[in-house]
Every structure is written in C-alpha cells, then in structure tokens.
Structure 1
C-alpha cells in the first residue's frame, strides 16, 4: 500500500498548485513534500506533475490519478482523525489569524483558560489586518469582520460589526451635539484611509427605524489605523467613526462619548472562519466552540451592537 504521507503531499500540491503551499498546509518543508511526491511517482512508475521554476501542473496521468484517489484519501484521513479524536484529547499546532486590536483585546485574554483546558494544543497566532487564505497559508481558523467567504469556508457569527460616532468630552465641551449624521460635517473629523485601496472610507449610518443617511466626516485628520483613530479621538482631535469593540471600554470609562446614540453604520459581521471539512480537527473544533461560548456567555454580540443605542445597551448589561 502506498504511504499516506506521499498521497497527501500529492493531493495538497495538486489542490494548492505548488509544493510550498502544500508544505505550509501540511506543516512540512517544501523539500519534504517534493520528496514525498517524487517517491509516489517512482512507486507508480509515472510522472504526476510537470515542474517548472514558476509552475506546477498535473500531467494527464496525474489528473487521472487525482480523480481516482482524491475522495478515497480524504475519507481515510477523516476516519483516522475520527478515531484519534475519540481516543485522545485535542492536540497539535493551532494556527489562527486575527486583527491586532480585536485579537489582543477580546481573544488573547481567553488563552490562559483555553490552554488550561487543552494543554496539548500549541497556539501559533498571527495578528494582522488582512484576510488570509486559510487553506493555502495553512491556517486552522481566522477571526475578523467583513471578510469575504471563499468557497469551502464556514463562518460562525460572533457579533455584529457596527461603527458609532465618538468624540472626547473635552472636544464636545461648548459644541452643540449633531442632530443627525449630516451634522457631523460641521465638526472637525478624523477620517480613515484604507491601507488596501488608498481611499478615504465613506460611511452611511442608519437608525432603528431603518432610515439611512450619509455621515460626511471632514478630513481634518486622516489615518489608516483604527486604534490610532480611536486614540486621536480620545486626545480631542475630532469626531470619528469607530467599531463598537474598539470603543466600548472607552465609552464605559468616559474617555469617549457617543454622538448620535440612535445611529450606527453596519459593516457586516464579526465571525470565526474555518475550512469546511468532512471531519473538523478536534483542535479547531474546541477552539471555535470555546470562543463562541465565551461571546455567548459574556453577551458580547449585544454589547457590540451599535443598533441598541448606548442608553438601551446599558439597561441590558
């Protein structure tokens, strides 16, 4: 019988289009994946890939072999993973991507309790403001807001992603409160410039009645980092629109006040993403369950909902 590692190296290389991508997914070196595939080709007596310095493509024989064995290997892997999960506790490297500030504030504090419960899991967490390719980059899960759901991915919703208008009490002292989002244009604003597109973001706010209105912030100050924008608002440089998870602590401490408490901008959902597999690895399953249960228990979806309004939210906490 052919070595399962050789078959898996072949499958992932075909799926991801290269040995390097397959190596990241399998937690191996590219050289190891290449050796496994070469051994498989030698054992079968056929060439499965055409190799160039820039591209890896299946040969005709490789395409036939992939069609014949692909589903069987996946089923075998699922059976092995299932038997393993029944007989042992979750273990292994847990690679997760999340945004720096949300991850540090709301996910990282869960790690001590998570590791106490699952000591054989080894976290490898990446904190960055970008959407990763879970399969190609070898991530088990990702957490973020407004991410595009690619084929083969599953998203488990954690909370809404709502922006609210905030400013410091000192900044608003002596200034009239705006009556609606259009009134924000009369105040110095702190704008967000997208690092990806280079454009200044424009927002539309809505209220509980479903009325929508543009929120034309002035560009007295422009930055590209949400945490920096929040700090600029705390320093009294202007009014800004920031996500409720970023604003919550500072609203509760009084360092920021919420303008237009009945209005918010809806930018999607905060979710935990993972690959759709026949059998989810135990380490990924317990992590997603742990995070989801924490958000449910702490009612974070409710606390992050700008649609509730600050006064109504306080009554529910």
Structure 2
C-alpha cells in the first residue's frame, strides 16, 4: 500500500513538472520529493517520469497512473485533515493571497491574536494584486475580488467593494467641488492601467436612489497599482476613484476628502475564497472563521459601504 507522501510527491511533481516546485508546495526538500517518487516507481515497477536537466515529463505509464488517481488524492487529504482536526489542534502552513494595502491595513492586525490562538499554524501570506489560482498555485485561501469561480471554489462575501472619488484638501483648496460625477471631468484624474488587459477602465457611479452617471475622469496621471493611485491623491495630484477600505483612514484623519459624497461605484464584493472540499483542513476552517468574526465585530461591511455618505 503506497503512502500518502509518495502519492502527493508524484501528483505535485506531475502538476508542476519539477521536483523543486513540488517540494516548495509540499514544504519539503527537492531530495525528499525525488526520493518519494523513486520509491513509488520502485514499488510499482514502472518509470513514471522521464527526467531531464530542465523538466520532468510523464511517461505513458505515468500519465495513466495520474488519470487513475484523479481527484481521489484530495479526498484522502481532506479525510486525514478532518481526523487530525478532531484529535488535535489545527496545524500546518497556511498559504493566503491578499491585496497589499487591504491586507496590511485590515488582515495583518488580526495576525498576532490568530497566531497566539493557533501556535501550530504557520502563516505564509502573499501580498499581491491579482486573482490567483487557488488550486494550481496551492493557496489555502485568498482575499480580494474578481476571482474566477471555477469548479471547487467557494466565495464568502466579507464586505462591499465600493469605489468613491477622493482628493486631498490641498488639491481642492482653490477648486469648486463638483455637484455630481459629470463634474469630475473638470479636475485632474488619477487612473489605473490594468496589466492584464492594458486598458484604462472608466466607471459609472450610482447613488442610493439607483441613478447612474458616467464619471469622466481625465487621464492626467496613469499608474498600474491602487496603492500608487492612493499615494498620488495624498500628494495632491488629482482625483482618484478608490475602494473605501483603502482610503478610510485618510478620510478619518483629514488627509483626503470625499467628492460627490452621494455617489459611488459598485465593483462587486471583497470576498474570502477557498477550495470547496467535503472536509476543509482545520487550519483553513479556523482562518475563515477568524476573519469572518473579526469583520462582523468591527462592522467593516458597513464601514466599507460607499452608499453610506
């Protein structure tokens, strides 16, 4: 009977074409992964990989074996995780993807309490502005918006992703505040070019009554990161449409002011994504509950609502 370690080493090596990458996903050394695969090949009596200095390639037997395993390995992992969760405290590496500004402002402050409560969990947090592939890239969870809900992915809504128009008091000092979104076109605009599409997205704003008006921001300054848009607005370079969560502290302390306060852009939701399994690993389950409870306790969904001027 093959050990789960041997099967995991084989499947991850097959997915990524590399013992080194498989080792990184499994938190092992490349030598350990190579040894586990070699043991599996010896036990089966067939060669599963053709090895070269650049890449691993599945043999015909390896391809057949991979298809035979299919998604059964994930079920075994989930079952083992569930049993261990019932018999002991949550443990293991917790790999999470987070938007940089949002993650630092709202998730990082939760980390000390989480680590004190669950000392056997080792957080591995990646701060990045992109929708990751949880399954292929080996993430336990991700927070953000706009993820592709492929089969096996669950999205738990944390708060609305509302964008509002902001500028610094210094920039607005000698300017007349616009009365509606059309007036934003008379001001200098700070906009973002999306790396995936190469395009600058212009948005429509709405009010609480459901009316919608196009916000014609001028392309006075173009950047490729929301954090850069925020910094440019703080420097007094113009008006930016930014997620409420990213500008809340600057609005509270007066470094930014909100323009056309009855209007906002609805960009969907800030969600917590995780792989849907019959039985979640205990480390993932407690993380999901910890974040959800913190958002409720701090009423962040209400605070992030741009519809509440």
Task: Flag whether TM exceeds 0.5 (same fold).
Answer: yes
The equivalent residue for 2:27 is 27
Relative to structure 1, is the Cα distance of residues 212 and 172 closer, same or farther in structure 2, using a 3 angstrom cutoff? same
The equivalent residue for 1:315 is none
Within-5 A mapping of 1:1-40: 1-40=1-40
Q: Please say which of residues 139-148 and 290-299 is displaced more in the overlay.
A: 139-148
The equivalent residue for 1:220 is 220
The answer to whether the 8 A contact 2:160-2:304 is kept is yes
The equivalent residue for 1:130 is 130
TM-superposed deviation, 1:207: 1.9
Q: What's the secondary structure of 2:78's corresponding residue? A: helix
Q: Please say which of residues 17-26 and 200-209 is displaced more in the overlay.
A: 17-26
Relative to structure 1, is the Cα distance of residues 28 and 104 closer, same or farther in structure 2, using a 3 angstrom cutoff? same
The equivalent residue for 1:279 is 279
Relative to structure 1, is the Cα distance of residues 93 and 72 closer, same or farther in structure 2, using a 3 angstrom cutoff? closer
Please give the alpha-carbon distance, in whole angstroms, between the structure 2 residues aligned to 1:146 and 1:73. Answer: 29
Please give the alpha-carbon distance, in whole angstroms, between the structure 1 residues aligned to 2:33 and 2:150. Answer: 26
Relative to structure 1, is the Cα distance of residues 278 and 12 closer, same or farther in structure 2, using a 3 angstrom cutoff? farther
User: How many residues in Structure 1 have an aligned counterpart in Structure 2?
Assistant: 309
Within-5 A mapping of 1:104-115: 104-115=104-115
The equivalent residue for 1:199 is 199
Relative to structure 1, is the Cα distance of residues 279 and 171 closer, same or farther in structure 2, using a 3 angstrom cutoff? same
The answer to whether the 8 A contact 1:166-1:241 is kept is yes
- 1:227-252: CA deviation from partner (whole Å, max 9, x where unpaired): 33223223322221111011111212
TM-superposed deviation, 1:53: 5.4
Gap regions ≥5 residues in structure 1 = 311-317
The answer to whether the 8 A contact 1:24-1:138 is kept is no
The answer to whether the 8 A contact 1:24-1:136 is kept is no
TM-superposed deviation, 1:127: 1.5
The equivalent residue for 2:48 is 48
Please give the alpha-carbon distance, in whole angstroms, between the structure 2 residues aligned to 1:176 and 1:70. Answer: 63
Relative to structure 1, is the Cα distance of residues 210 and 19 closer, same or farther in structure 2, using a 3 angstrom cutoff? farther
Q: What's the secondary structure of 2:272's corresponding residue? A: strand
Query: What's the RMSD between the two structures over aligned residues?
Result: 2.3
- 1:139-177: CA deviation from partner (whole Å, max 9, x where unpaired): 222211223333332221111111101122333234322
Please give the alpha-carbon distance, in whole angstroms, between the structure 2 residues aligned to 1:239 and 1:2. Answer: 61
The equivalent residue for 2:303 is 303
Please give the alpha-carbon distance, in whole angstroms, between the structure 2 residues aligned to 1:64 and 1:240. Answer: 54
TM-superposed deviation, 1:3: 2.5
Q: What's the secondary structure of 1:116's corresponding residue? A: helix
The equivalent residue for 1:93 is 93
Relative to structure 1, is the Cα distance of residues 184 and 24 closer, same or farther in structure 2, using a 3 angstrom cutoff? same
| TM-score normalized by the length of structure 2 | 0.90
Q: What's the secondary structure of 1:263's corresponding residue? A: coil
Q: Please say which of residues 212-221 and 86-95 is displaced more in the overlay.
A: 212-221
